[in-house]
Amino acid sequence: MNKNMFSRAGELEAASFPFALVTILNTTGSASRNQGSMLVERTGAITSTIGGGALEAFAIEAACRALEEEHEDYSVSFTVDQEAKKGAGEVSLFIQVVENRGENPFFALAKEWEQKSIPFVFGFSLQSKSSRFLLSSTQQSVGSSDAVLLDHAKKSLEEGFDKRVEIAGDEHFLTLPVPLTNLLLIGGGHVNQAIANLAHSLGYGFQMVETRSEFATGELFAYAKELVVAPTIAEGLKRVSINRFTYTVVASHTFDQDALEHLLATATPYIGILGSRLKARMLFERISVPPNQKDRLFCPIGLDIGTETPSEIALSVLAQIMKEKNKRTGKALRDFAKNLVVVRGGGDLATGVIMRLVRAGLPVVVLETEKPTVIRTTVSFAQAMYGGATKIEGMLAKRCNDVEEAMTAMQSGIVPLLVDPQGLSLEKLKPICIVDAILAKKNLGTHIDDAPLVLALGPGFTAGVDCHVVIETKRGHSLGRVIREGEAIANTGIPGIIAGFGRERVVHSPSEGIFSSDHKIGDLVTLGEVIAHVGETEVIASLNGMIRGLLNNGLHIPTGFKIIDIDPRGLEADFTTVSDKAKAIGGSVLEVLDGFLAKR
């Protein structure tokens, strides 16, 4: 939601004028926005936007009709058409009619919070008419006393994103009208003044710390949540609030080691220091930065867009902050899919490759089967094929219905998965590189001419025949080796040794049938314990340890199929992050691709 929407709602509430609120609940395929809200008055006048164009025109007409008919709150869908492609996307909207018939003030409070840049949750029921509530980051609430609902709202404020929750059969939508992103400006000079003004237009609240009172005035920083003047920057920092949504910009010659150490001890993810490369070198000679903290420090700051004036520098700095906050590449959208990589398979090793590629700024689309048979489900993006989405080490993957939806998801920083085991979408995707990460120990249909660069993981491929490069996947001295001629080491069928156990770690299906288990990954099991069934046949734990891999329930599997992985290290086992093996293989893929792109 944009700024000013609740300000206008508060004004209309005070005047007892009705209005409608239109909120995007969900989008699929191609859409101009994935979230947003706007206010519509009887006259058709609007405050804020949900993306403009045909969608907004449709929403205004529906909202005006709802106001005229005094309609109950309801959902409505809009189909997005793009030029020759009909049905390119679908947008689900929710329309609330606010009649303002002398009820207790509600939007006046939201107006106050919005104008003061105080983060808050605006929640509403998708079933009960006119059931709305507010909860601020200061824990002030109005409209609901339901402890469970308010607890979900508090979690939304901590997590920083909109969501739907179901409580006692009633579904609620929780949205955050004021961005949680906030700035801490250190120094009140021309650049930070320009940053403050632009930040306000983006809806970002900010605090300011100075050692000079004449540079910390309400006239210079009219929208500041807090103006602090102190003898030193370090002392001033003790009087401001800093959290993981706070991005820090330093434009002060009095910034020193004490101030830096104070910031490094906080959760601020970004510490940008204004200055030239020479100043940066001199600064780092003067202050000490621990090696594990250097990723949070930016000096010089901003994106390379040719800035000169304070306003131009402000644009560059805030663009970089948005890039870091949203974990985006900062590339031109025109060239976004220029170096597209398609990874066939989304298992645990494939996921390590995907994460390395995405973190290097490369766009990736994953092709999978309808029901993948991965067992390391907590570290496999393939699991999104079952639940619709999965998050691993902070990276979100989502199942998509078509190429258009996949491209939209990718632009939102999401790893898209398509049901396409045959690779039929390759012609439309036109990737620069294909990575066959199915790990079937044989080639299931990848060809060397499928893309300018084709890589394959593990045995079953011959470099120069099936693909350009094979990456070794067997643990040991050769793991991750780049093979440009020949094949990887043949599969031995013996799992890697962990704590002295090899074959015993992996449990195979004793018969053909439907797999089922009431256990979950992370459970501790003992030798001889019944941990699953295949049809009516019991599956017995082969050793003491922790379940690290477990097939999804309901899959029909043949005899001898890999279904469970038990880690003998027990509680010391890690089942939530990708393995060192997956990262090593991913590094080799990235090395080959980076070298290929450098020569183009």
pLDDT tens column, 384-418: 999 899 999 989 999 998 888 898 888 888 999 99
Please state which CATH class domain 182-326 belongs to.
alpha beta
Mean pLDDT (whole number) for 48-69 = 92
How many angstroms separate the CA atoms of 154 and 133, rounded?
13
pLDDT of residue 395: 93
How would residue 2 be classed by pLDDT, with cut points 50, 70 and 90?
very low
Mean pLDDT (whole number) for 193-212 = 94
Comparing 182-326 with 333-493+581-598, is the CATH topology the same? yes
Mean pLDDT (whole number) for 233-255 = 93
Torsion (CA) 137, 38, 6, 27 in degrees, nearest 10: -10
> What is the residue type of 353?
V
pLDDT of residue 508: 95
Contact residues for 426 (Cβ-Cβ < 8 A; gap 6+)? 342, 434, 450, 451
Q: Has residue 1 got a pLDDT over 60?
A: no
Mean pLDDT, the chain, rounded, equals 90
Q: Give domain limits for the chain.
A: 5-175, 182-326, 333-493+581-598, 503-568
Q: Has residue 84 got a pLDDT over 60?
A: no
pTM exceeds 0.75, yes or no: no
How many angstroms separate the CA atoms of 144 and 124, rounded?
10
Mean pLDDT (whole number) for 226-235 = 95
Cα distances (Å, whole numbers) of residue 405 to 35, 62, 88, 383:
15, 26, 8, 18
How many angstroms separate the CA atoms of 458 and 353, rounded?
13
Q: Which residue has the higher pLDDT, 51 or 240?
A: 240
How many angstroms separate the CA atoms of 472 and 477, rounded?
10
Q: What is the pLDDT of residues 298-341, one digit of tens each?
A: 988 999 999 999 999 999 999 999 999 988 878 787 777 789 99
pLDDT of residue 128: 63
Mean pLDDT (whole number) for 90-108 = 83
How many angstroms separate the CA atoms of 285 and 306, rounded?
27
> Angle, nearest 10°, between helix axes 348-359 and 580-598?
50
pLDDT of residue 29: 67
How would residue 287 be classed by pLDDT, with cut points 50, 70 and 90?
confident
Residue 184 near residue 245, CB atoms below 8 Å = no
Tokens describing residue 249: 């910009």
Q: Has residue 86 got a pLDDT over 80?
A: no
How wide is the angle at C-alpha 248 spanned by C-alphas 244 and 251, nearest 5°?
A: 175
How many angstroms separate the CA atoms of 232 and 99, rounded?
52
**Which residues make beta-bridge pairs with 135?**
121, 141
pLDDT of residue 33: 77
End-to-end CA distance of the chain: 42
Cα distances (Å, whole numbers) of residue 390 to 91, 398, 419:
22, 7, 16
What is the edge-to-edge ordering of all strands in the sheet holding 506-508? Answer: 506-508, 562-567, 545-550, 524-525
Neighbours of 4 (CB within 10 A): 15
Q: What is the pLDDT of residues 150-176, one digit of tens each?
A: 999 999 998 888 888 888 888 899 999
Please state which CATH class domain 503-568 belongs to.
mainly beta
How would residue 366 be classed by pLDDT, with cut points 50, 70 and 90?
very high
How many angstroms separate the CA atoms of 471 and 494, rounded?
19
Q: Has residue 594 got a pLDDT over 90?
A: yes
Name which of 103, 102, 98 is nearest 124 in CA terms.
98
How would residue 101 be classed by pLDDT, with cut points 50, 70 and 90?
low
pLDDT of residue 465: 96
Percentage of the chain exceeding pLDDT 70: 97
Q: Has residue 435 got a pLDDT over 60?
A: yes
CATH 3.40.50, domain 333-493+581-598, yes or no? yes
Q: Which residue has the higher pLDDT, 81 or 420?
A: 420
pLDDT of residue 284: 73
Q: What is the pLDDT of residues 489-506, one digit of tens each?
A: 998 777 878 878 888 899
